[in-house]
Chain A
Amino acid sequence: MRRLSLILATALVATTASPPPAMADKKSDAVVAGAILGALIAGAAAKNRDNHRYNYATDKVFYPADLPGVMCYTRARQCYFRGHYSASATRDVFQ
C-alpha cells in the first residue's frame, strides 16, 4: 500500500503520470472514502482548537535586509517574495 500511496500522489502532482490503479475491490474504496471523510470531520472538529501558527494577523513580520522583496513571519516560519510563498527564502532564513 505504501507504493500505492506514492502512485496516487504522483497522479495528483505529476502531469504525465498514468491513472492510479483501480482499487482491489469496492470495500477498499469504501475504506479510503471513509478515511478521507473521517479526516475531514476530524479537521472540522479541530477548527476551534488552538492552531495559531499560520495566523498572520497576530504574527510578527520582518524584512531580511539582504533579501530584497522578502517578508517573513516569525511564528509561522514562512517567507514570501513579493507577496508569494518562497521555499528558498523560507529555507535560507529559518533552516
Chain B
Amino acid sequence: MKPIMLRALSPLMFAALPAVALAEDIPPSVTMDGAVAVQAATLAEGTLNEAQVQVLKDVAHQKAVVLTCEGFAIDEARFTGVFETAYPTDAEFNALDEAGQVQLRSVMMLVLGTFLGGDLAIASTDAEAWCASATAEKAQADAPNRVWAD
C-alpha cells in the first residue's frame, strides 16, 4: 500500500485495532528500544525537538547496523545531508551564544551516542534477526533519513 494511503487510513487503523499490548506480547528488543528512547528524549529535553531526536535515532540505528551486519556502509554525503536537517541553520546556530552552541553540540552527541549504544546492545541479543530486519529495511529505497550506501 502506498504511504499516502496508509496516512489516510491510519485513523481507521487506530479505531479498528485498539489493542493494548500485554507485557508478554512486547518483544524484549522493543522494550529495550523504548527504554533507550526514554533516556535519549530526557537528555534532549529543552535542547532538541522531537523531529531532531527522530533524525538522530534513525542515523544511530543505521550506524549500529553497519557495525553489526555485513553488506552495509554509510554514505557520507547522505549522512551530511540528513544530519543537516536536524541541525539549526547557520543563522540559527550563530544566533546562539557560545554556551548555547556548546550545549547544542554536546546534547546532539550524547543523544546520538545513547541511541547508538542502545542499538548495539539490542543488536547483540539476536544479530541474525537484527540484520535480517535491516536488510528488509534497506530494500525500502525511500526510507526516511537514509544514510546507508546503496
Contact residues of A with B, CB < 8 Å? 1-2, 4-6, 8-10, 12-17, 31-32, 35-36, 38-40, 42-43, 46-47, 49, 51, 53-57, 59-67, 71, 73-74, 76, 78, 80-88, 90-95
CB interface residues, B 1-58, toward A, < 8 Å: 1, 3, 6-7, 10, 13-14, 16-21, 23, 25-27, 29-31, 33-35, 37-39, 41-43, 45-47, 57-58
Report the bound CA distance from A52 to B139 in whole Å. 32
Chain B residue at minimum C-beta to C-beta distance from A17: B76
Asked whether, in the complex, the Cβ of A94 is within 8 Å of the Cβ of B10, the reply is yes
Report the bound CA distance from A22 to B128 in whole Å. 38
Report the bound CA distance from A84 to B136 in whole Å. 11
Minimum C-beta distance from A92 to chain B (A): 5
**Could you say which residues of chain A place their CB within 8 Å of the CB of B34?**
54-56, 73, 76, 78
Given A43-B42, A74-B14, A83-B27, are A60 and B20 neighbors across the interface (CB < 8 Å)? yes
User: Of B27, B45, B66, which one neighbours A46 at CB under 8 angstroms?
Assistant: B45
* Prevailing SS type, chain A contact patch: mixed
Given A43-B43, A74-B14, A87-B61, are A66 and B23 neighbors across the interface (CB < 8 Å)? no
Report the bound CA distance from A35 to B97 in whole Å. 13
Size of interface on B: residues with Cβ below 8 Å to A: 82
Report the bound CA distance from A94 to B16 in whole Å. 16
**Could you say which residues of chain B place their CB within 8 Å of the CB of A76?**
34, 37
Asked whether, in the complex, the Cβ of A92 is within 8 Å of the Cβ of B3, the reply is yes
Asked whether, in the complex, the Cβ of B103 is within 8 Å of the Cβ of A82, the reply is no
**Could you say which residues of chain B place their CB within 8 Å of the CB of A64?**
6, 13
Given A13-B59, A85-B61, A91-B143, are A80 and B102 neighbors across the interface (CB < 8 Å)? no
Report the bound CA distance from A27 to B99 in whole Å. 13
